[in-house]
Chains A and B, each alone.
Chain A
Amino acid sequence: MSTEEVIPSGQLASPGRHGSDPLIEVSGLCADYGFGAGAVHAVLDVDLTLRRGEVLGLAGESGSGKSTLAYAITRLLRPPGIITAGRARFDGSVDLLSATEHELRGLRWNDIAVVLQSSMNALNPVLRIGTQFADLLRAHRPGMSRVAIRERSAELLAMVGIPADRLTSYPHELSGGMRQRVMIATALALDPAVVIMDEPTTALDVVTQREILEELTALRDRLGFAVLFISHDLSLLVEIADSIAVMYAGRLVEQGPAKAIFRSPRHPYSLGLLNSFPSLHGPRRTMEGIPGSPPDLRTPPPGCAFHPRCRYAFDKCQAEPHPPLLPLDAGSRAAACWLQDGTRTRPDELALEVRP
C-alpha cells in the first residue's frame, strides 16, 4: 500500500495535526548506567513533551543518550540502567516511573508501542509471524476468537503491504524490508497513541528506507498516532518530523519546529550536524565535520559539554555550569547555548533566518 505519488521533501510532515494535549511529559529526567563512582551519566536533566498526533524527532550521535532516553521513559532500559531523577507522565495521569508492573503491562503496546532498530533480532526466530501476532492480540484482547485474531493479523499485514499468507512464515524467510514492515504492523496492532521508533530504517538500503518512510507517513495520516522518531540522520528527521530535539552528551541542546531548525539552527552542534550533510540543491560548499569526538560520559568536561569542540566557545562556556535550555525568539524554540542568552551578538551563522 505504498503511496504512488512522489512527495517532495520538506512536506512529508503533515500539517496541522498537532492536538494540544500532551501525551508524554518528561521533566528533569536523569538516567545512568551503573551506580556510584563509575556510573555513566547517559541522560541528564531532559525535559520533553510529545503531543497527540505529533512527530517528534530525537537527533544525536551514537552515545548521545537518545535511545537511553526513549527506553528510560518506558522503563525498558536494560540492566545496569537506572533512572536517577525526574518525572515521566503519560496522558497527564499515569506516572510511568512509579507504575507497578501490572500497570505498565496494561499500558504497553495498548498505548505506547516500540519499533526496534534491528528487525532481525526483534522477531522471535522460532515462532511463525502469525503466532507472534496472536500472542500479542491474545494478551491484550482476551475475548478475541481465533478467527478474529487471524482476520486482524491479516488486516495488519495488509496495512503494510504484505500478503496474508506470510502469516505462516518464519522471520528468517522474510527479507529485511518485510521484517521491518512486520515490526511496524505489530506496533500498530492495538492502535496505540504513541509509537517510539528507534532508528527503524538505519539497517536498510536507501530504496527500502524511502518506501517504509512513505508507508509510515501514510499510516500516520490515517491513524493519527504520535511518533517519537529517534535517528542520527538529521536530514531524515527534517523531512518527517514536526518538531526536533537535538541531544548531545546526554542533554537536550536544541529544540524547536523541524523546519525552523533546518533553516536557522541556533546551537553550534546543530549547525555542525546540518553542515555535515550535503544538500542536493544550492551552491557547492566544503564539507565540514565536527572536530573532536563525544566526551566520556563518566567524566564530562566542565561547563558546557560541547565547548571543547565548539568553534564559538568563550570563557563563560567553561566557567559556568552547563547552560539550560534558553527560550528563543517566539514560539517553542530553545537552545542550550550562552550565545543565545540575548546579551551577546551572535555569530552570523547562528542568527540566520534562513540558511543558504
Chain B
Amino acid sequence: MRLIMRRVALYVITAIVAITINFFLPRLMPGNPALTVLGKAQSAESPQAIAALEEQYGVQTKTGTWGQYTQYWDHLLHGNLGTSLNAYPASVGSLIRAALPWTIGLVGTATVISFVLGTLLGVAAAWRRGSWLDNLLPAMTFFQAAPYFFVAILAVALFATKLGWFPPSQGYDTATLNPGFNWAFISNVLDHAVLPALTIVLASIAGWIIGMRNMMITTMDEDYVLLAEAKGLPRHRVIGYAARNALLPNVAGFSLAIGFIVSGALLTEIVFSYPGIGYLLLNSIGSDDYPVLQGIFVIITFAVLLANLLADFAYAFLDPRTRQEA
C-alpha cells in the first residue's frame, strides 16, 4: 500500500508541475506568442472572445500573475480548457472530447496486444535460444528504431495503396456512414483501425520482446528455476516459474514506455488522418491554435499518469514482496 501511496503522491506532484509549466510557458517565450495570437484574432473574434484570450494568456494586467495562476487552476478543475482559436467558438474541451475516444480505443487495444504478444514471444525466444526467433531480433531492432510514423507510411504504402487490403485513412467512411451502434458502422470502424493498430504494434513490440527475453535469460539462471526442473515439474510450469518473475521488470518498464507509445500513436494517427488527438494536434500546430495545443498537453499528461498508476497496481499485484514494507 505504501508503495502505491508514494506513486500517487508523485503523480499528483507531476500533474501540478505539468500544469504550472503549461501556465508559464507562453509567458516565458521570447516574442510573447500570446500577442501574435491575439493579433491574428483581433479581426475575426468577438470582444468576449478577445477578453477570454487575454485573460488566458495574461495580457491584461489587472490581476497579478498569482491571481491568473489560481484562476487557471479554477478553470481547469471545472473542466474549462479554454476556447479554440481555429474552430471558434468551439471550446478546447469539446474538440478533445470528440477526438479522445478514437485515440483511447486505438492506443489501448494496440498497446495491450503489443505487450501480451511481445511478452510471449520474448519468453519463447529465451527458452528456445538459437532457434529461428533469434534471427528475428535484428529486424525487430530496426522496427524499434524507425519512427512510428515511418512504419505507418510503409504500412499505408504496402497494405492500402499497393495491395488495397485496408483503407488508407480516416476512422470510418465519412462519406457513406453515420456513427451508430450497428454492425455496418462498427465493422467499418474496425476495418479502418487495423492498419493504425498494426503500425503501433509493430513499432512497439520489439521493446517488449527484447526486454522480456533478456530478463528471462537472467532469471533462468536463478536457483528456483533449476530446482523446478530438478523437481520434475512439466516444462510449461518451469517456464511459468521463470516468466512470472521475469515479467516484473517488464511491467515496471511499461510505465516508462507508455509515454513513448502514446506519442508514437499520435504520430501514427496523423499519417492515417485518423480522427483522434493526433490529427487534432497536427491541425492545431498548423493553425497556431495554442489553447488547443496546451489543452492536449494537459489531457495527455493526465492520461499517461493514469496509465502509470494502473501499471503500478498491476506490479503490486504481481509482486508479493511489495505488499510488505518490512
Q: Check A125 against B230 for contact (C-beta < 8 Å).
A: no
Q: Check B230 against A109 for contact (C-beta < 8 Å).
A: yes
Q: Out of A106, A114, A127, name the residue touching B227 (CB < 8 Å).
A: A114
Please judge, given known A-B contacts A118-B223, A122-B223, whether A109 and B231 are in contact too, CB under 8 Å. Answer: yes
Which B residues lie within 8 Å of A122 (CB)? 223-224, 227
A220 in the interface, Cβ–Cβ < 8 Å?
no
Residues 112-127 (chain A) with a chain B CB within 8 angstroms: 113-114, 116, 118, 121-127
Q: Out of B233, B245, B326, name the residue touching A126 (CB < 8 Å).
A: B245
B36 in the interface, Cβ–Cβ < 8 Å?
no
Q: Check B244 against A126 for contact (C-beta < 8 Å).
A: yes
Residues 202-231 (chain B) with a chain A CB within 8 angstroms: 221-224, 226-231
Residues 161-202 (chain A) with a chain B CB within 8 angstroms: 170, 172-173, 186
Q: Check B226 against A124 for contact (C-beta < 8 Å).
A: no
Tell me how many residues of B have a C-beta within 8 Å of chain A.
24
A355 in the interface, Cβ–Cβ < 8 Å?
no
Q: Check A136 against B227 for contact (C-beta < 8 Å).
A: no
Q: Out of A126, A140, A170, name the residue touching B232 (CB < 8 Å).
A: A140
A211 in the interface, Cβ–Cβ < 8 Å?
no
- Give A241 Cβ to nearest chain B Cβ, in Å: 22
In this complex, the member of A74, A110, A124, A139 whose beta carbon has the largest number of chain B beta carbons within 10 angstroms is A124
Bound complex: CA A124 to CA B240 (Å)? 11
Bound complex: CA A139 to CA B241 (Å)? 14
A288 in the interface, Cβ–Cβ < 8 Å?
no
Q: Check A74 against B321 for contact (C-beta < 8 Å).
A: no
A346 in the interface, Cβ–Cβ < 8 Å?
no
A151 in the interface, Cβ–Cβ < 8 Å?
no
Which A residues lie within 8 Å of B241 (CB)? 124, 127
Which A residues lie within 8 Å of B153 (CB)? none
Q: Check B320 against A126 for contact (C-beta < 8 Å).
A: yes
Please judge, given known A-B contacts A76-B226, A123-B224, A126-B318, whether A139 and B245 are in contact too, CB under 8 Å. Answer: no
Q: Check A139 against B233 for contact (C-beta < 8 Å).
A: yes
A281 in the interface, Cβ–Cβ < 8 Å?
no
Q: Check A136 against B231 for contact (C-beta < 8 Å).
A: yes
Which A residues lie within 8 Å of B227 (CB)? 114, 116, 122
- Give A11 Cβ to nearest chain B Cβ, in Å: 32
Residues 258-300 (chain B) with a chain A CB within 8 angstroms: none
A108 in the interface, Cβ–Cβ < 8 Å?
yes
A313 in the interface, Cβ–Cβ < 8 Å?
no
Tell me how many residues of A have a C-beta within 8 Å of chain B.
29
A311 in the interface, Cβ–Cβ < 8 Å?
no
Which B residues lie within 8 Å of A123 (CB)? 224
- Give B241 Cβ to nearest chain A Cβ, in Å: 5
A39 in the interface, Cβ–Cβ < 8 Å?
no
| Chain B residues touching A, majority SS | helix
Which A residues lie within 8 Å of B237 (CB)? 135, 139
- Give B261 Cβ to nearest chain A Cβ, in Å: 26
Q: Check B229 against A76 for contact (C-beta < 8 Å).
A: yes
Which B residues lie within 8 Å of A105 (CB)? 232, 234
Bound complex: CA A76 to CA B228 (Å)? 11
Q: Check B320 against A107 for contact (C-beta < 8 Å).
A: no
- Give A77 Cβ to nearest chain B Cβ, in Å: 10
Q: Check A108 against B232 for contact (C-beta < 8 Å).
A: yes
Q: Check A170 against B244 for contact (C-beta < 8 Å).
A: no
A78 in the interface, Cβ–Cβ < 8 Å?
yes
- Give A352 Cβ to nearest chain B Cβ, in Å: 41
Bound complex: CA A121 to CA B241 (Å)? 12
Bound complex: CA A58 to CA B230 (Å)? 20
Which B residues lie within 8 Å of A118 (CB)? 223
Which B residues lie within 8 Å of A110 (CB)? 232
B324 in the interface, Cβ–Cβ < 8 Å?
yes
CB-CB nearest in chain A for B233: A139
Which A residues lie within 8 Å of B326 (CB)? 172
Q: Out of A78, A107, A136, A139, name the residue touching B226 (CB < 8 Å).
A: A78
B319 in the interface, Cβ–Cβ < 8 Å?
yes
Bound complex: CA A105 to CA B235 (Å)? 10
CB-CB nearest in chain B for A183: B227
CB-CB nearest in chain A for B247: A126
Q: Check B231 against A170 for contact (C-beta < 8 Å).
A: no
Binary CB contact string for chain A from 9 to 26 against chain B (1 if under 8 A, 0 otherwise): 000000000000000000
Which B residues lie within 8 Å of A139 (CB)? 231-234, 237
In this complex, the member of A104, A122, A140 whose beta carbon has the largest number of chain B beta carbons within 10 angstroms is A122
- Give B228 Cβ to nearest chain A Cβ, in Å: 8
Q: Check B233 against A135 for contact (C-beta < 8 Å).
A: yes
A selection of 22 A-B contacts at a CB cut-off of 8 Å is A76-B226, A104-B232, A105-B234, A110-B232, A113-B230, A116-B227, A122-B223, A124-B224, A124-B244, A125-B224, A126-B244, A126-B319, A126-B320, A127-B241, A135-B231, A136-B231, A139-B232, A139-B237, A170-B321, A172-B324, A172-B326, A186-B231
Binding site for A on B (CB under 8 A): 221-224, 226-234, 237, 241, 244-245, 248, 318-321, 324, 326
Binding site for B on A (CB under 8 A): 74, 76, 78, 104-110, 113-114, 116, 118, 121-127, 135-136, 139-140, 170, 172-173, 186
The 7 closest A-B pairs by CB, nearest first: A108-B232, A121-B223, A105-B232, A170-B320, A122-B223, A114-B230, A124-B224
Additional 19 contacts, C-beta under 8 A, given A118-B223, A122-B227, A123-B224: A76-B230, A78-B226, A105-B232, A106-B232, A107-B232, A109-B232, A122-B224, A124-B224, A124-B241, A125-B224, A125-B321, A126-B320, A135-B233, A136-B231, A136-B233, A139-B233, A140-B232, A172-B321, A173-B324
